[in-house]
Every structure is written in C-alpha cells, then in structure tokens.
Amino acid sequence: MIKERLLELPDLIAEKKYELLILQEQLADLQEDMSKWELIQMDDINNAVDDKGKPLYSNDAKRKAELEKRKQTDEWYTNRAKEARELNREIARKNIIVEQLYNIQSNLRAICRLEGNND
C-alpha cells in the first residue's frame, strides 16, 4: 500500500505542478494586458489638457488619483482585476495541494524507514 502510494505520488505532484504552471502563465498574460491598459491610460492622463492648453492633471498625485479612478470605474479593467484575484486564489490553492502531496510523500517515506516496510 505505501509502496504503491509512493510510486503514484511523483506523477500526481507533476500533474498538479503543471496545472499550477498553466495558471501562473494565465495570470502573467492577464497582468501584462492590465499593465498595457494602465500605460495607455497614463499616456492619456499625461497628455490631457484643458481648453487653454494647460495640463488637466498638473502633478503626480493628481495623475495617480485619476488613474486609480479609471481603474475602479472601467468595466474591462475591473473584470480583469477580479479575474486576477481569482487566479491568485487558485494558484495559492494549488500550491497548498502540491505542498500537501510533498508532505504525504515525506511522511510515507519516513514510515517506510521506521517500519522497514517495503510494501
């Protein structure tokens, strides 16, 4: 029983780590898209002028505040932010599972050493 379980665990760990990798790649792609959106918004904010040609957002604090306002009110961005939070949660969950599998593997090996049992 223990030997069979020990032989199964490496494949199970590899499978979970691959699932984790896919989620991490999805998150990286999502974060890249969000960063591009932010850059476009910052460019728009930095170039915004009033009817007299003066900058609408004259200092860094005002520009940052406008960007945050846009992040909170833009439907596309808020949906991506929600998706990123969900991916982060799923990545954390998968990491816990992988850690648990490693712990099980370690415990089973320790039991085998203590008992001198190979089955």
Q: Average pLDDT for residues 79-96, to the nearest whole number?
A: 98
pLDDT tens readout for residues 40-63? 999 999 999 999 999 999 999 999
Q: Average pLDDT for residues 92-98, to the nearest whole number?
A: 98
Give percent above pLDDT 90 in the chain: 91
Backbone φ, ψ for residue 55 (5° rounding): -60, 135
| pLDDT exceeds 90 at position 79 | yes
Give pLDDT, residue 3: 87
Rounded to two decimals, the pTM is 0.84
Q: What is the Cα–Cα distance from 84 to 15, expressed in whole angstroms? A: 22
Confidence band for 117, pLDDT divided at 50, 70 and 90: low
Confidence band for 70, pLDDT divided at 50, 70 and 90: very high
Backbone φ, ψ for residue 50 (5° rounding): -85, -175
Give pLDDT, residue 115: 85
Residue 79 CB neighbours (<10 A): 10
